[in-house]
């Protein structure tokens, strides 16, 4: 068993209560780590140390903060293998995914913001007095200052990737941080703290408090000395955090759930590795469908439905659930028992509502799994058709390897179906008609629209959702702005 500790004021410490939670390896359903079950007292200690570190860290020249973060990125690269192994064990994701996506992207997150702060500029306005009698000409410029202690709360599906997506801009812009990773997948956050310590990050600049959302997470959100909260997770928790931050007048950024449409028109390029068919499979089932951006609602033009849907189902049948540790595995375990049960409930509801299961629809039989994984949490990749668009299964986020399919007759119907849920994170559109690509990108209610591709991520672009998928944007300038407060200075000329 690994023994995790909180990282507060540059030291590794137990939770004050000495209580711990077990972290379970999804592929085997066996406990593999003890995680501190922290509470308000631990969060208080972390906030106190972050507050104490803030004046010196925020006063450092940007180039020096940048150098710390670049060093941390180098250490992540140097520890690619142990970090990828830990991420795969903790989440159940294939080791190849952790090695090629999660861990490299975590290093890139730090490099992106460590260099962004060396190139940022602020606005200036040369005011001519406004043309009114007695109008005063002035030069105005905008100062941007870090907010103080940033609270960063992250989920279990891409643990290090999403945690560092928050830490990097927060630290780069001069804030200090109290972070809480998901209690379900806490290991790589603990390893990151070890690397931060090796990188020589001054004590108190980064504090990591482990524990449940209800205790440790809520204590960060409600702490009066944490003026900014950035949260990625479920819509239900995001709503509570939004309400609390609203009441306390905190800055808040919420990246929440998705139920993303993946739309295939009859003129789309279908075949090949970048075609609609292969891309739909990747979009639906990468990380066992546990990515907020997954295209979980497939909308297919009626003229090609009978060709495209069987081709997708055929490829989905070739995804073979296996031991996440094996490099050949492309489909791993479901990260938690609660998540597995949620998937089962939703598929059973789909059956009751008359949905036709085209493939999957059940847990993976133990005998088809490697011996080590027979007690693990595995669900078959599943495709369902013939559901009413308004039903629960089409409306609620499942966050697992389940894709539903609808057919549409024309552009207007595709847009109506795409916009027909409470969510609005990402949409994918496959078409060769340029005008249609522009029209749909503009008309679909989402924070991101991908045309003829999926999950192409340029870290400079705004990232986030509309409607129930969130409030605020991460990425590039948006993140630099979120973690800084602007002040206008007006000097009479
Ligand atoms: P969750 O909301 O249960 O938990 C997320 C984090 O919040 C965890 O660290 C948890 O401990 C903490 N938390 C829970 N209750 C809290 C509270 N009352 N106060 C403070 N913190 C609390 O979500 P999850 O199950 O870990 O993650 C899956 C969800 O995340 C899905 O809905 C998925 O769509 C969403 N997600 C969104 C994005 C995005 O960028 N929009 C990215 C990844 C995941």
On whether the CB atoms of residues 277 and 271 are closer than 8 A, the answer is: yes
Task: For residue 492, name the pLDDT band (cuts at 50, 70, 90).
Answer: very high
Prediction pTM value: 0.97
Ligand 1 neighbour 256 (Cβ under 6 A)? yes
Task: For residue 6, name the pLDDT band (cuts at 50, 70, 90).
Answer: very high
Average pLDDT over residues 85-91: 98
261-458: CATH class: alpha beta
CATH 3.40.605.10 domain position(s) in the chain? 2-256+469-492
What is residue 149's predicted lDDT score, i.e. its pLDDT? 98
Report long-range pairs for 303-306 (Cβ below 8 Å, ≥24 apart). Answer: 303/266, 304/264, 304/266, 304/268, 304/270, 305/407
On whether the CB atoms of residues 25 and 224 are closer than 8 A, the answer is: no
Ligand 1 neighbour 217 (Cβ under 6 A)? yes
Task: Name the residue among 283, 163, 229 with its Cα closest to residue 470.
Answer: 229
For residue 244 the two structure tokens come to 């609390």
Q: In 3-state terms, what secondary structure has residue 253? A: strand
Q: pLDDT for 256-295, tens place per residue?
A: 999 999 999 999 999 999 999 999 999 999 999 999 999 9
Average pLDDT over residues 232-248: 98
Q: How many CB atoms lie within 10 A of CB 197?
A: 16
CATH 3.40.309.10 domain position(s) in the chain? 261-458
CA of 482 to the centre of ligand 1 (A): 19
Task: For residue 395, name the pLDDT band (cuts at 50, 70, 90).
Answer: very high
Average pLDDT over residues 204-224: 98
Phi-psi region of 313 (alpha: psi -120 to 50; beta: other; left: phi over 0): alpha
What is residue 155's predicted lDDT score, i.e. its pLDDT? 98
Percent of the chain at pLDDT above 90? Answer: 99
Q: pLDDT for 456-467, tens place per residue?
A: 999 999 999 999
Pocket perturbation via mutation, ligand 1, pick of 35, 155, 254, 260 by most ligand atoms within 8 A of CB: 155
For residue 98 the two structure tokens come to 């952790």
Q: pLDDT for 319-377, tens place per residue?
A: 999 999 999 999 999 999 999 999 999 999 999 999 999 999 999 999 999 999 999 99
Q: pLDDT for 177-191, tens place per residue?
A: 999 999 999 999 999
Give Cα 89 to chain centroid, integer Å. Answer: 19
Q: Residue with the nearest Cα to atom 40 of ligand 1?
A: 255
Q: pLDDT for 363-384, tens place per residue?
A: 999 999 999 999 999 999 999 9
Fold for the domain defined by 2-256+469-492: Aldehyde Dehydrogenase; Chain A, domain 1 (3.40.605)
């Amino acid at each position: 068993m690994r023994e995790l500790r909180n990282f507060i004021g540059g030291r590794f410490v137990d939770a004050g209560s000495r209580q711990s939670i077990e972290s379970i390896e999804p592929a085997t359903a066996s406990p593999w780590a003890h995680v501190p079950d922290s509470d308000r007292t631990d969060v208080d200690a972390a906030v106190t140390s972050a507050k104490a570190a803030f004046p010196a860290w925020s006063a450092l020249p940007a180039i020096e903060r940048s150098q710390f973060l670049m060093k941390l990125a180098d250490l992540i690269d140097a520890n690619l293998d142990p970090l990828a192994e830990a991420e795969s064990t903790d989440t159940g994701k294939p080791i190849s995914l952790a090695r090629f996506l999660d861990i490299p992207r975590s290093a890139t997150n730090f490099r992106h913001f460590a260099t962004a702060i060396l190139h940022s500029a602020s606005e200036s306005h040369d005011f001519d007095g406004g043309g009114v009698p007695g109008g005063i000409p002035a030069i105005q410029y905008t100062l941007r200052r870090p907010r103080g202690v940033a609270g960063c709360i992250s989920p279990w599906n891409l643990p290090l990737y999403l945690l560092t997506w928050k830490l990097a801009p927060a630290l780069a812009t001069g804030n200090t941080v109290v972070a809480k990773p998901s209690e379900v997948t806490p290991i790589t956050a603990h390893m990151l703290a070890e690397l931060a310590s090796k990188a020589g990050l001054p004590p108190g600049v980064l504090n990591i408090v482990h524990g449940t959302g209800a205790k440790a997470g809520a204590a960060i959100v409600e702490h009066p000395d944490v003026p900014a909260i950035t949260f990625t997770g479920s819509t239900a928790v995001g709503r509570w955090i939004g309400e609390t931050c609203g009441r306390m007048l905190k800055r808040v950024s919420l990246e929440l759930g998705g139920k993303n449409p993946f739309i295939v028109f009859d003129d789309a390029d279908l075949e090949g590795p970048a075609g609609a068919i292969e891309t739909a499979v990747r979009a639906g089932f990468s990380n066992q469908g546990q990515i907020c951006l997954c295209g979980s609602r497939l909308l297919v033009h009626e003229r090609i439905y009978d060709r495209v849907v069987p081709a997708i189902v055929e490829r989905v049948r070739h995804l073979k659930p296996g031991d996440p540790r094996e490099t050949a595995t492309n489909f791993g375990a479901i990260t938690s028992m609660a998540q597995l049960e949620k998937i089962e409930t939703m598929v059973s509801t789909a059956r009751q509502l008359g949905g036709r299961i085209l493939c999957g629809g059940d847990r993976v039989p133990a005998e088809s799994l490697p011996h080590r994984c027979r007690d693990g949490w595995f669900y078959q990749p599943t495709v369902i058709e013939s559901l009413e668009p308004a039903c629960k299964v089409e409306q609620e986020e499942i966050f697992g390897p389940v894709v539903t399919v609808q057919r549409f007759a024309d552009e207007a119907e595709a847009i109506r179906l795409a916009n027909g849920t409470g969510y609005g994170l990402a949409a994918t559109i496959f078409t060769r008609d340029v005008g249609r690509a522009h029209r749909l990108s503009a008309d679909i209610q989402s924070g991101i629209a991908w045309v003829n591709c999926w999950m192409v991520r340029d870290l400079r672009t705004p990232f986030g959702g509309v409607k129930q998928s969130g409030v605020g944007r991460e990425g590039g300038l948006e993140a630099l702005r979120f973690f800084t407060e602007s002040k206008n200075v007006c000097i009479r000329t």
